[in-house]
Structure 1
Amino acid sequence: MPTPFDKAVAPVRRRLTRSTLIALSPSLMFTALPAWSQAEENKASEQGAQHKIIEEVTVTARRAKESLQDVPLSVNAVSAEAIQENNIRDLEDITAIVAGLTLEEDSIAPNASMRGVRFDTFASGNNPTVEFYLNDAPIVSLSAMQAAFDIGQVEVLRGPQGTLRGRASPSGAITLTTIRPDLQQWGGYVDTTLDSLGGKNGRLAVNMPFKEDVLAVRFAGFYEENEANRVESINSKQSPEYDGQGYRVSIRYIPTETFEANFIYQQLDPDRVIFKQVESANKANSALDDGAQGDFSASDRKAVSDIGQSTEQDLNRIGLELAWDIDAVRLNYVGSATDQEVKRKDIDDSGDVFFGPDSDPQLSTLGQELETSTSGYTHEIRLSPIELINDQWNYVAGVLYQKNRPDTDLIQQTPVFLPSFAGGGLATIAETPVARRAESEERSVFANITWKMSDDTEFAVGARHIKYQEEDSTAVSGNVIAGRDEEWSHTIYSLSAKHYINQDLMAYANYGTSWRPGISAVGNFSVDQSERERQFTELDPEESESFEVGLKSTSLDGRLKVNAAAFYQTFDNYPYRAGGSGVSYVSTDRDGVRSVEQHNFVAAVPVEVYGFEIESQYQITDQWYASALFSYADGEIDNGVIPCNDYNPADGKPDGNTTSPTVDDIDTATDGQNVGACRVSIASNTTPDWTGTFTSKYSFEVAGLPAYVRGLINVFGDSDNDPTNKIDDVDSYNLLNLYTGVSDPDGKWHVMLYAHNVLDKEVVLSRDAEPESVSVQVLQPPDFMSAEGETRTSTYREISTTAEREFGINFRYNF
C-alpha cells in the first residue's frame, strides 16, 4: 500500500603535485569517457542491453525522494549495502569512502571537516559548519558520531544548507536514516565481526509486523569491545579499551492511506579508556634532551602517563515523524529530544613529568574531572503539495524551534610544591571547581519555491529567517568570571537553477548564504583576563556566501556516471580555533598566582575557500565495477588575527622554537595582554587540500556461490596540519583496504574477509608543537601563604598516528 512517504513527488592555488595527478588519473579517465565519438557511443548502446547498469540511487537531499542524478547539489550517498560491504561500524568509518569529509571522534567533542573549513565542537558548540540529522531531525555530533547500526542510508550534502532542511550550516549536512519497520514481513539479521586486534562487534535487528500494512516494530542493537587506540602506557597496568552497547526501538504506524507515524527510541552507552601516544621530544627537535624513561618513536605506539583518559557516556534520543495528507497538501512534523550524560577524567601529566621513586603517588592521577549534561529538543512543522501545482510549482514552508541546555561541571587540579630549600616535595593538590551553565533557543521560519519552467529547466529560491538567543555563564570557585546574554536575528537565502542539456546531461548553478551565532569559548579560567583574551574568547556571528556550478552525466546506457562540481565560498568571522594543546598564556588563579597555562583560544577571521569534487562510477562489465571520488578544497585565512605563541622572539609571527615560555616571556612580548597575537594568511583547515577514494570490485562464482574481491584505496595529499606548528606537516600518503566475500544465492548469509591498511602504513598525523608540560605552584617564604607559578616540562610530546593494519572476518545471517 503506498504511504505518504512513498508518494512524495520530487521537484522535477595550490599547485597540483605529481602525486596529485597520479591520484586524479582514474577520475580523469572516467571524465574523458563521455567524449567518445558518436560511433563508439552507438556501438556501446547496441551492446548496452547485454550489460549490467549502475543502479539508480534515491536521495532525500531536497526533502523529497528523487534520483541523485536529478539533484542540483553535490551529494554523496552511502547505502545500507555500502555500509555492509565496507564493514562500517562507526560513523567515522564512512570517511574511507567519502573523499573530502573528515570526522574525528572524541568522547566529549567530535569534529568534522568539509569543503575547506573545520567544525570544531569546542569552537562552535551546537552550531556546526556541518550539521548532523537523524531521521530528518537535528542531532548533536556527540550522539551522531557513534556506532552505525541498522542504518538505511547516509547522505553527505555539500555546500550551504538551511532553506529546506533543519538548521543553517555553511559547509554541508550529514543525514542518517535508520531502517524503518517493514509492515508486511517478519525477519531480521545477526551480524558479527572479529578482528586481529582483539576487537569484537555484534549487531542484530528483528522486524515484527503486528498488523499487516498498519503497525510494525523493529528492534536493533549492537555490542562492541576493542582495544581503542591500542596505545599502551609503560607506567600503567591499565589497557586501552572500548566497551559499547546500544539499542533502538522503531515503531511504524499507518492507520489510513493519508496518515503515517514513525517513532524511535535510542540508547547508547559507550565507555572507553585511552592513553595519549607520545614520542621522545627530541625526535622533532634534536636540541632537546633524550626521553627520560626511554627513547620512543611513533612505531612504538607508547604512552608514559600513569593512568589513561577514561570516559563514561549515556546518550538517549527520542524521535517522532508524522505525515498527514490533507486534500492536496502534506503536513509533516519532525520532533526529537536528546539527553546526554558524560563523565570524563582527563590527564594533565600525559608526558609523565612526575615520575620515579621520589614522585608523590598523588601526582599519578593529576588531571581534570569533568561532567557534562546536555538536554535539548527540536520541533519542525512544514507544508508541501502532494503533487506539483499546475505541473510546474512546488514549495516547502515551515517553522523550526530548537532548545539546548549544555551544562558542565569540572574540577581542575593544580599541584602545589614546597620550595627547593624546604625539600621541594608536594604540599597539596589544589582543586578549583568550575561550573558553566548555558541555554540557547532558535526560532526560524523558512520557505523554498521551485518552478519547473519546462521538462528541461527548473529554478528554485529559498529563505530562512532565524532568531537566536543564548545565555551562558562561567563560574570559578563560585565566582562568575564570564557571562553572555545575546539575541541575534538574520536571514539566509538560496538560489538554484538546473537545465538538462540532453536526457543524460544536467548542468546546475547554486548560490547560497549561511549564518551561525557568535560563540563564547570555554577553557580559560583565569580570574584576570585581558582585553585580548576576551577578544579571543567571545566572537561575533559568522556570515558566509557560496557559489557552486556542476554537471551530472549518465552515459554508455547507464553504465557510466560522472558528476562534477566547483565552488567558491567566503566567510566573515569564521571561528578559528588554535590547534594542538593550544596557545601558552598567563593565567591568574583566585589567590592571585600567575602561571603559564595552555588553552585553545578562538578568533573571528575572514576565510576564502575554493575547490571542486569529481565522482565517477563505471560498470565496466557485468562482473567488474569501479568508482572514484576526488575532492579538492583550498581554504585560507585572509589576513586574520589569531592567538599564537609569539614570545621568543615577539615578531608578529608564530614562534619556530618548541620550548615553553615563562610568565616573564609572555608579559614582555604582549605588554601585559597575557596571550600572543599574530596577523596571518594561512590554511583554515588542518586536513589535506585534496583527498581521493578509489574502488574496484570484481564479482564471480565459487562452487555456484556469488563471490567477489574488492579493493579500496584512500589517497591523502600534503597537509600543513596546524599551520602555526612548524613540526607537524604531513606528507601525502595512501592506505589500501582489501575485501573478499561469498554469499548464499538466496541472500540468507554472507561471509567476508577484510584487511585494513594492508601495507601497514605508519604516518604521524599530528604532533604537538611543544613537549608536554604541567603548570604547578611553589609556595614562597616567609609565611608560605603565597605562591608563584612554574612550568615543569617533560621530555615527551603528544602525537597521533594512522591505525595499525587489521585483518578481520564478518558473518551475517538474514532470517
Structure 2
Amino acid sequence: MKALLLSTVLSAGMLLPAGPAAAQAAEEGAEAPANGNEIVVSARRRDEALQEVPQTINVVTAEQIEKLNLRNFTDIQALVPGLTLSGGGSFSTSATVRGVAFNPEASGNNATVEFYLNEAPISSNFLFQSSFDVGQFELLRGPQGTLRGRASPSGSITVTTRKPNLQKAGVSFSATATDTHAYKGDFALNVPVIGDVLGIRLAGVIDENQGNQIHSIKEDGNYTPAPFRKTKGLRASARFEPVDFASFNFMYQTLRSRQVQFSSVESASFVTGNPSVATPVINPFDRLSLEDSGSRQGQDQQIYVWSGELRFAGQKLSYTGSHNHQDFLSLAASDGADYFGPPRFQLVERTFRDPTGYEAVCSEQSLRANLTPTNQAYFQCTHGSASRNSHEFRLSSDERVLGVFDYVAGFLYDRNITPSRLTQETPLMNSAGTAVSSINLTSIVRDANSTEKSWFGNVIAHLGERAEVSGGLRHINYRNFSSFLQNGNRTIPDRNNTVEATVWSGSAKYRFSEDLMVYGTVGTSWRPGAFAIGDFNLQPTVRERSFFDLPPEKSTSYEIGVKTSFLDRRGRFNVSLYKQDYDNYVYRGNSVYFINYSLQGGVVRSSVSSFNFVAAVPATVKGVEVEGAFQITPRWSVSSNFSYADGQIRNGTIACNDINADGKPDTNAALPTVAALQAAVGPGENVAQCAYSGRTLTSPKWSANMQSEYNFPIFDTAGGFVRALVNYTPRNEGDPNNTNDDVSAYALANVYAGIRASDGSWELQAFAKNVFNTRRILSQGGAPLSSAIRTTAGGTINYVSDYYSVSVNSPREVGISLRLAIGSR
C-alpha cells in the first residue's frame, strides 16, 4: 500500500511546476506575514515575504532539513538545483551557482559566492564541516554587495542558526544511524533566564561516518586505516532584549574535525576494453584506492558572532561583528600512481604525534627525522591557519521615510590573515628506478592577508501600493599582501597593492495583483585578482605567472522575473531569466603539464609536473530558473525546482596541454617527457597556452528536483507520513578534452516513511537514499595515473600505471532517525 501511495505521489508531482519545498513561519521574534504559510527571508536586510522580493531566492528551512535528513551542509544542494557544494569535511571547499565556480585555492577567499553566518561574513570552510541547529538557509542568486557584506558576482549564501526563545524553555534531541556506518546525534537546550528579556541556547553535535566511503586495497587497520570522518561541535547563543527598542545577540561555536579519506581508481581495462595488466582488477564501483595511507586531515575552529540593534525615531542602528579562527593540518600521499607500492619498496610506518595518526608533525625537521630511503609512501604536509575579523555598521529605516522610502547605509571592515606552511617530499631514484637514493624536501612558506573597507547604501522608493524602484552603490577599498618563499628563496615577488572599485545595482517591480508581480534587476560586481597557489616552480616564466596571478574580475548582470501565487496562495510559480557578462572571469581547468625547476640534491634540475592553472578570460552566462509549490490537499504537498545555466568563454587564452603544438588543447593528454614538453612549449617557456572557447564549467547545464509529502492520521495524537525527494541530472559531455568523462542521464530518489506526533514533539523515521542504488561514473581521468620519477643523475623515469582515477555517486544508504522535543524547539 505504501509503495502504491509513493508511486502516486511521485507521478502526480512530476506534472507540477518546479519550486522550493515547504514554507516556514517567521522566525521567533520576527513579524510574520498575513499568510502563515509564507516563507520569510531577510534578503534586503529586513524580514519580507519571499514573494515580495524582486530577486531569485532559494530557501531551505529547518523543517525541511529535519524532514529530509540533511545531515551535512553539502546535502543542501539536493534541494537547490544549479547549486553545487563540494569538499565537505576538507579545508578545500567550493561552490558553484549560475554557471560559475568558487575555488578558494584560486581566488584567495574572494568568492563568486559569499557565505554568511548570522549575517557575518565567513569563509566557506567553516560551514562545510557540519550542520546542526540551523534555522534557515537562503541562496540569493545574482550579484550582491549593495545591501550586505562583500561584493559577489553570482550570489550569497546565508545561514541562520536558531536563536534563544525568551518565553519558553525547551530541549530537543535527534539521532540518526545508517547501514553505511554513519552516526549523528545533536541536541539543543533553551533556557529563558529572564522572561522576555534574556535567554540562552546550547546546541551540540557528534557526527561520525566514512566520508566518501572509499577504502584502500591495503587496508590493515593501522598504517592504512578504514576511511572515517569524525566531527564534534558545540554552540552557545545568548539573546538579550532589555527594552523594547534594543536587542543584542551573541554566538560562540567550537568545532573539531578529523578524517582519513582515499581517492578511488579503476583498472584501465574498464576504460580501454583491453585486458588488465596489473592486479588486482578494480571495478569503478568497487570504491577502492591504491593509496597506502590516504589523506589525513584535522581542523579546529572557533567562531564568535555578536550583534546589536537600536530602534529610535523610526530608524534602526545595527551592528554585526565577528571573529573566527581555524587551524588545519593535512598529510596527503603524493604517489597516486602507486609507483612506490610494495613489493618493490618496503613499507615503513611513520611516527605521528599521537597513535591515531591524524596530527602529523608538519615541519621540515620532523619529516626529515622520519625519512629513510626505504619509505614506501611520500607526502605533502600542509599546516595552515586562517583568522578573520569583520565589523559592519548599518543605519536603516524602521519606518518608511515620508511614507515612500526605505533605505540602508553602512560601512564594512573585513580582514583576513591566512598563512600556510607546506613541505613536499620528492624521492630521488637511481637511474634504473630500482632503489631510492635520497629524498628531497621542498619547504614552502606563504604569508597572506587582506583588508577590505567598503561603504554602501541602498534606497527603495515605493510608488503607491503596486510599484517600487531601488538603487544601491558600494565603494570598495581593498588591500592585499602575499609573500612566497621556496626553500628560503623568494621565487615570486611579494604582492602588496591597494585597489579601489565601485559596484552598483538597480531594480524595479510592479504588482499587478496580490498574486502577480513582475520585476527586473541590473547589477555589477567586482573581485580582486586571483592568486593561485600550487605552482612551486623555482624559475617561473612571464607566461607561467600570467596563469596564477590574475587581474581583477568585473561583471554586469541582467535579470527579469515573474512571481505568482494561485488558489488562495495554496500554490506559487516563479520564473526568472538572466544574463551575466564577465571581464577577466577566473577560469580554472584541469591539470596541465609544465616544466618544473626544483632543487634536487643541491642542484636545480627540470622535470615534468602538473598544476591546474587559472586564467582571466571573457565569459557570458545565460540561464533560467523556475520554482513552484502546490498544496494539493491539506495532507498532500508537492514542489520542485529547475535551473539552467549556460556559461561560455569566447576566445580566451588558457594554459593547456599542447604536445603536438597545433595551438589547440590536446585530448586525453598522457604524461610527456621533459624533452617532448620543452619542444612543444618552445624555448624559454615552461607551459603551453591555447586559445579557448567553451563552457565555463564541465558540470551539467541544467538540473531539477521534485519533492512531495503525504501525511495521514493513525491515532488521535500521532499520524503517519510518506515523503520523497527525486533529483534528476541530464546527460553531460564533461570536459571536451577528456573523452572518458561523459555521464549519461540519471535520477536519484530518496524515500522517507514514519510516524510523528500531531504537535511535532517527536518523530520516528526510516529512510532510504538513492533507493534504487543508481550507479554512475561522475568523472574519469583522461589518461592513466602516472608519475614522473626523478633520478639523482638529473633524469626522469615516466611511470604509467594500469589504473585511472574515477569518482562515482554515493551508493544506497538505509537508515533510521529519531527526533524528540519538549517545550520550545
Alignment TM-score, normalising by the size of structure 1: 0.91
What corresponds to 1:588 in structure 2?
597
Q: Is the 8 A contact 2:404 2:463 kept in 1?
A: yes
What corresponds to 2:745 in structure 1?
732
Mapped partners of 2:814, 2:55: distance in 1: 37
Q: Is the 8 A contact 1:689 1:718 kept in 2?
A: no
Per-residue CA distance 1:99-148 (angstroms, 9 max, x = gap): 11110025121010000111111211211101110000111010011211
Instruction: Give the counterpart of 1:531 among 523, 542, 552.
Output: 542
Q: Aligned-pair distance for 1:26?
A: 6.3
What corresponds to 1:520 in structure 2?
531
What corresponds to 2:66 in structure 1?
84
Per-residue CA distance 1:507-563 (angstroms, 9 max, x = gap): 000001000000211001111111211110110000000000000001111111001
Q: Superposition pairs for residues 675-690 of structure 1, below 5 Å? A: 675-690=687-702
Q: Aligned-pair distance for 1:286?
A: 4.5
Instruction: Give the counterpart of 1:371 among 367, 380, 383.
Output: 383
Per-residue CA distance 1:256-286 (angstroms, 9 max, x = gap): 1111110001111111101100011343235
Q: Aligned-pair distance for 1:77?
A: 0.9
Amino acid at match of 1:117: V
Instruction: Give the counterpart of 2:459 among 449, 452, 477.
Output: 449
What corresponds to 1:64 in structure 2?
46
SS, match of residue 272 in structure 2:
coil
Instruction: Give the counterpart of 2:663 among 645, 649, 652.
Output: 652
| Cα separation, partners in 2 of 1:204 and 1:82, compared to 1, 3 Å | same
What corresponds to 1:721 in structure 2?
734
Q: Is the 8 A contact 2:340 2:377 kept in 1?
A: no
What corresponds to 1:40 in structure 2?
none
| 1:217 maps to 2:228 | no
Q: Is the 8 A contact 1:54 1:560 kept in 2?
A: no
Amino acid at match of 2:772: L
| 1:499 maps to 2:510 | yes
Mapped partners of 2:383, 2:782: distance in 1: 29
Q: Aligned-pair distance for 1:726?
A: 2.5
Alignment TM-score, normalising by the size of structure 2: 0.90
Amino acid at match of 1:429: I
Instruction: Give the counterpart of 1:178 among 134, 150, 161.
Output: 161
What corresponds to 2:352 in structure 1?
none
Q: Aligned-pair distance for 1:91?
A: 1.1
Per-residue CA distance 1:137-184 (angstroms, 9 max, x = gap): 111010011211000000011111110010100110110000000111
Q: Aligned-pair distance for 1:488?
A: 1.1
What corresponds to 1:277 in structure 2?
264
SS, match of residue 283 in structure 1:
helix
Q: Aligned-pair distance for 1:695?
A: 1.0
Mapped partners of 2:670, 2:778: distance in 1: 21
| 1:629 maps to 2:629 | no
Mapped partners of 2:58, 2:241: distance in 1: 31
Mapped partners of 2:389, 2:736: distance in 1: 38
What corresponds to 1:619 in structure 2?
631
Instruction: Give the counterpart of 2:94 among 95, 111, 128.
Output: 111
What corresponds to 1:102 in structure 2?
84
Q: Aligned-pair distance for 1:658?
A: 4.0
Q: Superposition pairs for residues 298-317 of structure 1, below 5 Å? A: 298-317=284-303
- Mean alpha-carbon deviation: is it higher for 544-553 or for 139-148? 139-148
SS, match of residue 341 in structure 2:
coil
What corresponds to 1:403 in structure 2?
415
Q: Is the 8 A contact 1:54 1:559 kept in 2?
A: no
Q: Aligned-pair distance for 1:27?
A: 7.5
Mapped partners of 1:597, 1:557: distance in 2: 63
Amino acid at match of 2:786: S
Q: Aligned-pair distance for 1:363?
A: 4.1
Mapped partners of 2:11, 2:732: distance in 1: 17
Q: Aligned-pair distance for 1:388?
A: 0.5
What corresponds to 1:290 in structure 2?
276
Per-residue CA distance 1:787-809 (angstroms, 9 max, x = gap): 23343222212111100100011
Q: Aligned-pair distance for 1:365?
A: 2.5
| 1:484 maps to 2:466 | no
Amino acid at match of 1:586: I
Amino acid at match of 2:103: D
Mapped partners of 2:735, 2:528: distance in 1: 25
Per-residue CA distance 1:615-653 (angstroms, 9 max, x = gap): 010111111111111000001111111111111x22122
Q: Is the 8 A contact 2:726 2:748 kept in 1?
A: yes
Q: Aligned-pair distance for 1:484?
A: 1.2
What corresponds to 1:511 in structure 2?
522
Q: Is the 8 A contact 2:18 2:641 kept in 1?
A: no
What corresponds to 1:162 in structure 2?
145
Amino acid at match of 1:692: A
SS, match of residue 731 in structure 1:
coil
SS, match of residue 249 in structure 1:
strand
What corresponds to 1:241 in structure 2?
228
What corresponds to 2:179 in structure 1?
196
Instruction: Give the counterpart of 2:578 among 558, 567, 571.
Output: 567
SS, match of residue 221 in structure 1:
strand
Amino acid at match of 2:594: Y
Q: Is the 8 A contact 1:123 1:576 kept in 2?
A: no
Amino acid at match of 1:602: V
- Mean alpha-carbon deviation: is it higher for 185-194 or for 292-301? 292-301
Q: Aligned-pair distance for 1:391?
A: 1.4
Mapped partners of 1:401, 1:222: distance in 2: 32
Aligned length: 762
| Cα separation, partners in 2 of 1:384 and 1:139, compared to 1, 3 Å | same
Q: Aligned-pair distance for 1:24?
A: 13
Q: Is the 8 A contact 2:657 2:669 kept in 1?
A: no
SS, match of residue 463 in structure 1:
strand
Per-residue CA distance 1:223-261 (angstroms, 9 max, x = gap): 011111111111232100011110110011111111111
Per-residue CA distance 1:726-767 (angstroms, 9 max, x = gap): 321222211000011211223221111111001111111111
Instruction: Give the counterpart of 2:816 among 803, 809, 815.
Output: 809
Q: Aligned-pair distance for 1:703?
A: 3.5
Q: Is the 8 A contact 1:27 1:629 kept in 2?
A: no
Mapped partners of 2:85, 2:375: distance in 1: 34
Q: Superposition pairs for residues 278-427 of structure 1, below 5 Å? A: 278-286=265-273, 290-361=276-347, 362-420=374-432, 424-427=434-437
Q: Aligned-pair distance for 1:29?
A: 4.6
- Mean alpha-carbon deviation: is it higher for 343-352 or for 601-610? 343-352
| 1:708 maps to 2:721 | yes
Mapped partners of 1:424, 1:79: distance in 2: 59
Instruction: Give the counterpart of 2:779 among 766, 787, 798.
Output: 766
Aligned structure 1 segments of 4 or more residues deviating by more than 3 angstroms: 23-32
SS, match of residue 122 in structure 1:
helix
Mapped partners of 1:195, 1:359: distance in 2: 39
Mapped partners of 1:286, 1:669: distance in 2: 30
Q: Aligned-pair distance for 1:702?
A: 2.1
Q: Aligned-pair distance for 1:776?
A: 2.5
| Cα separation, partners in 2 of 1:28 and 1:485, compared to 1, 3 Å | farther
Q: Aligned-pair distance for 1:290?
A: 2.6
Q: Is the 8 A contact 1:323 1:332 kept in 2?
A: yes
Q: Is the 8 A contact 2:480 2:495 kept in 1?
A: yes
Mapped partners of 1:122, 1:774: distance in 2: 23
What corresponds to 2:351 in structure 1?
none
| Cα separation, partners in 2 of 1:809 and 1:440, compared to 1, 3 Å | same
Mapped partners of 2:518, 2:162: distance in 1: 32
What corresponds to 1:795 in structure 2?
802
Mapped partners of 1:323, 1:716: distance in 2: 44
| Cα separation, partners in 2 of 1:84 and 1:26, compared to 1, 3 Å | closer
SS, match of residue 419 in structure 2:
strand
What corresponds to 1:47 in structure 2?
none
SS, match of residue 740 in structure 1:
strand
